[in-house]
Amino acid sequence: MRLWDEVAATVPCLLEYGDSPLAKTAQRFYEKLKKTDYLQTDCVSVCKAVEHFAKNLPTADQAMNMGKLAHLANRAKMGYFPTDLTHVERIKEAMIFPEEEVNLIDPCCGEGLALKAFANGANAITYGIELDEIRGEEAAKRLTRVGFGSYFHSRISLGAFQGLWLNPPYLSAPSENGNRRLEKAFLSDSMRLLQNGGVLVYIIPFYRATPDVCRVLCENFRDLRVHRFVGKEFERFSQIVFLGVKAERRKADRQAKKLAEYLLDPDRIISCLCRTTTIILIPRTTDWDFRTVICSSIYGIRISNIITIRS
Ligand SMILES: C[S@@+](CC[C@H](N)C(=O)[O-])C[C@H]1O[C@@H](n2cnc3c(N)ncnc32)[C@H](O)[C@@H]1O
């Protein structure tokens, strides 16, 4: 079992590194290993296959390839991959907004273009947070309220939002327990901002939908669906979008495992949003009688903003 998992875990790493042929090989190898009956099979041949596979893996002393360079360039701009606006429109077509006002938040809003387009025409108050000051200034022109600084140094009321737009940076960052992926960190933390029944839009490269991410999604959201982006956007950034409705947390080990396996092969993912299934956004609950605030600070030093959410 450990061996299968280790081989499956190389797939996202190879895709991020930019070696899709080897990632495909790893995936096929994983499928084979899964079906291997270790009690019946000659162990020597399995060991040889593993050895052969391991020899093909890139090592630190190899010259960098273009994929690696692109990854480093991404890091330099803090993972800024704004959502393509045509895709925002497609995602919006899968939603029905209520007539009543809703609170929408993008905890890493870039220039605010995606959230603005998503909320366009709806009765919505839009909240964003952005680490990059220049992008944050741009977002402030488009969204109702913007907090400048890191989302992770912000204080935001839990359960105050009916919609969460989340296209996080595709990066890892140092943390107390070693490096952590920001795709998962943003998801695990910011889903608590949604009220139960609130809607999540979560956009990541398909190879970042690792088993731990799938577990968070399956345990905390119902009516979960996933679509892949189309055309050039998918070719360049391999993005998929999850839509789900926030629910009470429950165990979902089997679903999470199945979802993670399904997502290893992007060809299986439905390639555009299906217009027949819609998610209905619920109106804001009216019994909020306290003032909810976002305090955003840069690196924990400067309190740059205090935002009051209308409740
Ligand atoms: C992939 S872009 C998405 C932009 C926008 N949400 C969209 O959908 O177009 C991620 C953004 O997260 C910002 N970012 C990175 N780390 C952040 C943090 N800790 N807090 C807030 N924003 C952050 C980056 O500067 C970048 O603008």
CA of 276 to the centre of ligand 1 (A): 31
What's the whole-number mean pLDDT along residues 236-252?
Answer: 93
Domain spanning 85-303: CATH superfamily? Vaccinia Virus protein VP39 (3.40.50.150)
User: Measuring CA to CA, which residue among 305, 310, 308 is closest to residue 139?
Assistant: 305
- Is the predicted pLDDT of residue 301 greater than 50, yes or no? no
- 283: nearest Cα among 115, 84, 118, 123: 123
Distance 110 CA to ligand 1 centre (A): 5
User: Residues 154-164: what's their mean pLDDT?
Assistant: 87
Tell me the CA–centroid distance for residue 277 and ligand 1, in Å: 29
> Of ligand 1's atoms, which has the minimum distance to the CA of residue 106?
6
Evaluate if residue 276 carries a pLDDT over 60. no
Separation of CA 10 and ligand 1 centre (Å): 26
Q: How far is the CA of 131 from the centre of ligand 1 (A)?
A: 7
pLDDT of residue 61: 57
Q: Ligand 1 mean position to 255 CA, how many Å?
A: 29
pLDDT the model gives residue 299: 41
Q: Indicate whether 37 pLDDT > 70.
A: yes
Judge contact between 135 and 146, C-beta under 8 A: no
pLDDT value, residue 67: 57
Between the CA of 29 and the centroid of ligand 1 the distance, in Å, is: 35
Sign of CA dihedral 70, 15, 220, 273: positive
- For position 36, what pLDDT does the model report? 77
Q: What is the pLDDT of residue 111?
A: 96
Distance CA 124, CA 98 (A): 9
pLDDT exceeds 70 at position 303? no
What's the predicted TM-score (pTM) here? Answer: 0.79
Q: Give ligand 1 pocket residues (Cβ under 6 A).
A: 78-83, 106, 108-110, 113-114, 129-132, 135, 150-152, 167, 169
pLDDT of residue 9: 76
Q: Where in the chain is the domain with CATH 3.40.50.150?
A: 85-303
Residues 6+ apart with CB under 8 A from 145: 125, 126, 127, 128, 294, 307, 309
309 Cα–ligand 1 center, Å: 21
Least trusted range by pLDDT, from 2-16, 85-99, 141-155, 196-210: 2-16
| pLDDT tens digits for range 189-202 | 999 999 999 999 99
- The closest residue, in CA terms, to atom 2 on ligand 1 is 80
Inter-CA distances, 135 with 7, 15, 113, 132, 237, Å: 39, 28, 10, 5, 21
Best mutation site among 81, 131, 170 for ligand 1, i.e. most ligand atoms within 8 A of its Cβ? 131
- pLDDT tens-digit series, residues 187-233: 999 999 999 999 999 999 999 999 999 999 999 999 998 999 988 88
User: Which residue has a Cα nearest atom 18 of ligand 1?
Assistant: 150
| pLDDT band with cut points at 50, 70 and 90 for residue 26 | confident
User: Which residue minimizes the CA distance to atom 1 of ligand 1?
Assistant: 81
With the most atoms of ligand 1 within 8 angstroms of its CB, the residue from 88, 90, 92, 108 to mutate is 108
Confidence (pLDDT) at 73: 62
What does the pLDDT read at residue 71?
58
